[in-house]
Amino acid sequence: MINQLVANIKKTGAPIVVGLDPMLNYIPEQVQQKAFAEYGETLEGAAEAIWQFNKEIVDKTYDLIPAVKPQIAMYEQFGLPGLAAFKKTVDYCKEKGLVVIGDIKRGDIGSTSAAYAVGHIGKVKVGSKTYAPFDEDFVTVNPYLGSDGVNPFLDVCKEEKKGIFVLVKTSNPSSGEFQDQKIDGRPLYELVGEKVAAWGSEVMGDEYSYVGAVVGATYPEMGKVLRKVMPKAYILVPGYGAQGGKGKDLVHFFNEDGLGAIVNSSRGIIAAYKQEQYAKFGAENFGDASRAAVETMVADIKGALENR
Amino acid sequence: MINQLVANIKKTGAPIVVGLDPMLNYIPEQVQQKAFAEYGETLEGAAEAIWQFNKEIVDKTYDLIPAVKPQIAMYEQFGLPGLAAFKKTVDYCKEKGLVVIGDIKRGDIGSTSAAYAVGHIGKVKVGSKTYAPFDEDFVTVNPYLGSDGVNPFLDVCKEEKKGIFVLVKTSNPSSGEFQDQKIDGRPLYELVGEKVAAWGSEVMGDEYSYVGAVVGATYPEMGKVLRKVMPKAYILVPGYGAQGGKGKDLVHFFNEDGLGAIVNSSRGIIAAYKQEQYAKFGAENFGDASRAAVETMVADIKGALENR
């Protein structure tokens, strides 16, 4: 699936991923009202609003982008109906030819980690049958529990040719509390980065590994170091736009060939219609605002890469 | 809810929690076959088998124990039907007066972390209505992302009087890869433990904080240190039994008053009928085997505490 991701990026010329993290307050009033009219102000109503919102954004952007990253928390908060909307979104995006990165940040050990792996990127056995319950292409994984937590994912990655992105240096202000702590003079995130390179060496695609890394756009200097520590890992870069990252900050996350990184924007794309820059579209044309925001983001990153 | 947990522990005299982590191969053939006869070898069939298995174990043990800890991965691997069985289990255990610790190990940042918090221990708004989607009493939280990940849970804990257990030192063999790394001469897990104490000081119950910690039974010496670092944190101790921990290893996780720790056993209780020691019950009486295993475990830990 890493080969598919690279192929999609080359085809679209867009090293970006749209974060499908639909907070209810991002969803235009008319979409919410229509869903509530059908299902009431219920969890089902919220889930329907999310699904209709996602569908419109995907329909208006899928030809420009290689991948989407639904954040499962935004669905899980609405319980089972929310998770049904997550699954519907995953399936729809795959139908549209998009690579789906499930932002699930799971991390446990042994058979528990294996359960997450089969549930999200693999197949689970029930008697003589097998099922692929959530069936994302990639998922994000938390490394705090060490190799015992990651290895079960690697087993499933090998079997299914799917992939993971391991949290290395996250985009948030307090990420340094633990991740930046110095161990023999080097920060913890570098140690995690070295592990990512080691884990990834066991599961290589054509050019890049099935094991990628998450490194926040908000820490460009650290990205520069980590790019070298994990040369074969695709870097998933959150924190662009709303969190403060800009195209010129991101050039060192990429390799010389313009590959090796994929930059996520969530709010900046899916709630673009709320920004002054795209207000002209109006809430009723929120999908067109998202499309325009994708075009602007791609131009920003491409421009930065060409001028480095 | 920490007050409720302490009250339940005092009432039962059992500082233990039963881990409801039902792998399909723990579930007796007759339970699986009955579920498959009704729903087929489907995700729904697996979910029904899990639910019937859990119900029997809870019915046979609830009067002896203060709490249960369903591991959500074991349900999530069966997709939406699996998660419906998780929710059914949570509700049933609460009806039985048990405190429910959702072992979800979630961890994200900002609004995403808030989404997990409201979805699992709080209430989510939909228009003018509010819902408590999963409604556990406690959840486990991964600290790798720092305070940005934990604070949204604290907000919900305050509002709902619920609690969290933060992963500090996990029970698995490779937990030391990152958690034991030395920072200015002290291991990372101590630093995380100090943060747990600081986070917890903001949300105190009568004797203990709403913020507890996970420290593996397999690392008793570290437990001894961490007990002092986080005097007001209840310690949730996995790794007893199947993973190797024994009652005598655990005394230092407890305070002098016999409180301050709650020891989890999953496989050792729920799949007790598969052990030689309880084989006499037979697969058909698996619930009775679990009850006997609970009694043995409580005696082991009580004995160790009395003899320390």
* Tens-place pLDDT, residues B12-31: 999 999 999 999 999 999 99
By C-alpha distance, which of B188, B224, B193 is closest to B209?
B193
Catalytic residue from among A88, A96, A105, A302: A105
Sole residue written with tokens 């499930």: A102
What is the Cα–Cα distance from B180 to B187, expressed in whole angstroms? 5
Q: Strand A124-126 and strand A129-131: pairing?
A: antiparallel
For B144, which of A133, A134, A178 is closest by C-beta distance?
A: A178
Q: What is the reported pLDDT for A308?
A: 83
- Which sign, positive or negative, has the C-alpha torsion A253, A256, A260, A265? positive
Residues of chain B with pLDDT under 50: none
By C-alpha distance, which of B6, B5, B17 is closest to B301?
B17
Sole residue written with tokens 């039974």: B217
| Gap from B306 CA to chain A (nearest CA, Å) | 32
Lookup: tokens for A73: 């928390």
User: What is the rounded average pLDDT for all residues in chain A?
Assistant: 96
Judge residue B258's burial from the number of C-beta atoms within 10 Å of its C-beta, 0-12 exposed, 13-18 middle, 19 or more buried.
middle
B143 to A143: CB separation less than 8 angstroms, yes or no: no
Lookup: tokens for B67: 């709490």
A144 to B108: CB separation less than 8 angstroms, yes or no: no
* Tens-place pLDDT, residues B205-252: 999 999 999 999 999 999 999 999 999 999 999 989 866 678 888 999
What is the Cα–Cα distance from A37 to A44, expressed in whole angstroms? 11
Q: Which amino acid is at B15?
A: P
- A-B contacts (CB, under 8 Å): 219
Q: Which amino acid is at A270?
A: I
pLDDT per residue, tens digit, chain A (308 aa), is: 999 999 999 999 999 999 999 999 999 999 999 999 999 999 999 999 999 999 999 999 999 999 999 999 999 999 999 999 999 999 999 999 999 999 999 999 999 999 999 999 999 999 999 999 999 999 999 999 999 999 999 999 999 999 999 999 999 999 999 999 999 999 999 999 999 999 999 999 999 999 999 999 999 999 999 999 999 999 999 989 866 678 888 999 999 889 999 999 999 999 999 999 999 999 999 999 999 999 999 999 999 999 88
What is the Cα–Cα distance from A20 to A89, expressed in whole angstroms? 9
A192 contacts A166 by C-beta, under 8 angstroms: yes
What is the Cα–Cα distance from A178 to A172, expressed in whole angstroms? 12
For A146, which of B80, B172, B182 is closest by C-beta distance?
A: B172
| Gap from A175 CA to chain B (nearest CA, Å) | 5
| Secondary structure percentages of chain B, helix, strand, coil, to 5 | 55, 15, 30
Q: What is the reported pLDDT for A138?
A: 98
Q: What is the reported pLDDT for B173?
A: 93
Lookup: tokens for A89: 């979104």
What is the Cα–Cα distance from A7 to A12, expressed in whole angstroms? 9
∠ CA A162-A167-A169 to the nearest 5 degrees? 145
What is the Cα–Cα distance from A211 to A139, expressed in whole angstroms? 10
Q: What is the reported pLDDT for B188?
A: 97
User: What is the rounded average pLDDT for all residues in chain B?
Assistant: 96
CA B274 to the chain's CA centroid = 22
A109 to B45: CB separation less than 8 angstroms, yes or no: no
What is the Cα–Cα distance from B213 to B193, expressed in whole angstroms? 8
B127 to A36: CB separation less than 8 angstroms, yes or no: yes
Respond yes or no: is residue B105 known to be catalytic.
Answer: yes
According to CATH, what is the number of the domain B2-306? 3.20.20.70
Q: Coil, helix or strand for A203? A: coil
B97 phi/psi in degrees, rounded to 5:
85, 10
B111 to A23: CB separation less than 8 angstroms, yes or no: yes
A95 phi/psi in degrees, rounded to 5:
-55, -35
What is the Cα–Cα distance from A73 to B108, expressed in whole angstroms? 9
Domain boundaries, chain B: 2-306
What is the Cα–Cα distance from A254 to A59, expressed in whole angstroms? 28
Q: Strand A235-237 and strand A124-126: pairing?
A: unpaired
Catalytic residue from among B87, B96, B105, B274: B105
Give A-chain residues touching B153 at CB under 8 angstroms: none
**Helix ranges, chain B (H):** 2-12, 29-39, 43-61, 73-76, 79-95, 110-120, 147-160, 176-179, 188-201, 220-229, 267-270, 286-306
Q: What is the reported pLDDT for A243?
A: 67
Q: Strand B124-126 and strand B129-131: pairing?
A: antiparallel
